[in-house]
Amino acid sequence: MKKIDWYITKKFLTTFFFAIFLFTIISVVIDIGEKTDDFVKSGWSGYRIFKDYYISFIPHIAALLFPLFVFIAVIFFTSKMAGRSEIVAILASGTSFNRFLRPYFITGIALSLLLGIASSFIVPQAEIKRTYFEDVYVHGNSSYDKLTEHAPILYFKTDPVTYNGIRNFDAFNKTGGPFFMFKIKNHQITYNLRSTTIRWDTVGGPHWNLQNVVERTFIKGIEKATYYPNKKVFFKFDPADLKNDQYAEVKLTTPELEKKIKTEELRGSENVNTFRIEFYHRFATPVSVLILTVIGAAISSRKVRGGSGAHLATGFVLAAAFILMDRFSTIFSTKGNFPPLLAAWIPNIVFALVAYYLYRKAPK
């Protein structure tokens, strides 16, 4: 690292952290204005609002706008350098444009790793508290209290051969019924269980209590039926697995999210794409930071009439196009049949081509 590298890196980081601090403060002020009535309704003290909501809200908004902060920071300080003819002097000294971009790449990679680690492990922990307030006091429809809206019946799989169904599950009492379960192997039912009531119990270890149980097994065409007034069973699901939580994917760390995807695939869930695209986004978004860094450096390194204003205007147009493409691809994946992997990465693919084009056109 030469002096010029440290000079650019220092300007990059100071501008970025100033921008992220400024925009976070603005976001908090706007959010306070929007949620004043909700805070009053919740009855929370000012200290609790700060500790349990805004300490969690800040990582959320910072991670959400992180690539945009990087993009704006690069354009702003690079255009200032171009306006003062610093870049012209650097290139005129015999430094190649590739060499000039080295500190951008190094800093961009460092920020990408920072975002990747935060998105995988830090932000999901913060989202648990933030989404609790949103769900309970803003939407008034707590997924922490109401486990499912799929009334009167919920179907799900627990393994490749086991199918389950529960009617009228009461989330508060963790009781429902009737309940049924059957296993299918080689296109034939090999086991069937039905009960009038199913209740979650933690006494003596987490388990389910079934009442008025009829258990049938089918072996080589022979049926065996057994009746139990009460039966204690250990199923591969618990009340939390029945939760209809609209924020479920953002509250899971990346290892937990990967495990959740496998579980939802096993159950044949219709919402599995929501978890898949969140998983792929956690790897695609840090890469977008590096791509936007290159784009920002390429478009703002040329001295133009209008200075920083012209560069920022171009940058905002490209940023808006990137965000729109990302949102549309996400919607097409979660609501349609668009592959989640492609949905998460297509904005990066398109803008990587834009970055390459702008790099080729940049002053050498």
> Stretch 220-248: mean pLDDT, rounded?
85
In this prediction, residue 149 carries a pLDDT of: 44
**Helix count and strand count (H, E) for the chain:** 11, 8
In this prediction, residue 240 carries a pLDDT of: 74
Q: Is the pLDDT of residue 364 over 70?
A: no
Residues in Cβ contact with 168 at an 8 Å cutoff, skipping those fewer than 6 apart: 151, 152, 153, 176, 177
**HEC-encoded secondary structure of 218-233:** EECCEEEEEEEEEEEE
Q: Is the pLDDT of residue 304 over 60?
A: yes
- Rg for the chain, CA atoms, rounded: 27
Q: Is the pLDDT of residue 143 over 50?
A: no
pLDDT tens digits, one per residue of 305-334: 666 778 888 888 888 899 899 989 988 888
- Region of 360 (left: φ > 0; alpha: ψ -120 to 50; beta: rest) is alpha
Angstrom distance (rounded) from CA 181 to CA 151: 17
* Sign of the CA dihedral with 240 first, then 241, 246, and 250 last: positive
State the burial class of residue 350 (Cβ atoms within 10 Å of its Cβ: 0-12, 13-18, 19+). middle
Check: pTM over 0.85? Answer yes or no. Answer: no
In this prediction, residue 107 carries a pLDDT of: 96
> Stretch 339-360: mean pLDDT, rounded?
94
- Pick the more confident residue, 246 or 67: 67
Structure tokens at 232: 């204690």
Longest Cα–Cα distance of the chain, Å, equals 90
> Stretch 234-263: mean pLDDT, rounded?
85
> Stretch 341-364: mean pLDDT, rounded?
91
Give domain limits for the chain: 3-141+270-361, 153-242
Q: Are 281 and 67 in contact (CB under 8 A)?
A: no
CB-based contacts of 84-92 (< 8 A; 24+ apart in sequence): 85/303, 87/301, 87/303, 87/363, 88/303, 90/4, 91/363, 91/364
Chain centroid to Cα 194, Å, comes to 38
Q: Is the pLDDT of residue 140 over 80?
A: no
Share of the chain above pLDDT 90, in %: 57
Strand partners, 192: 182, 216
Q: Is the pLDDT of residue 148 over 70?
A: no
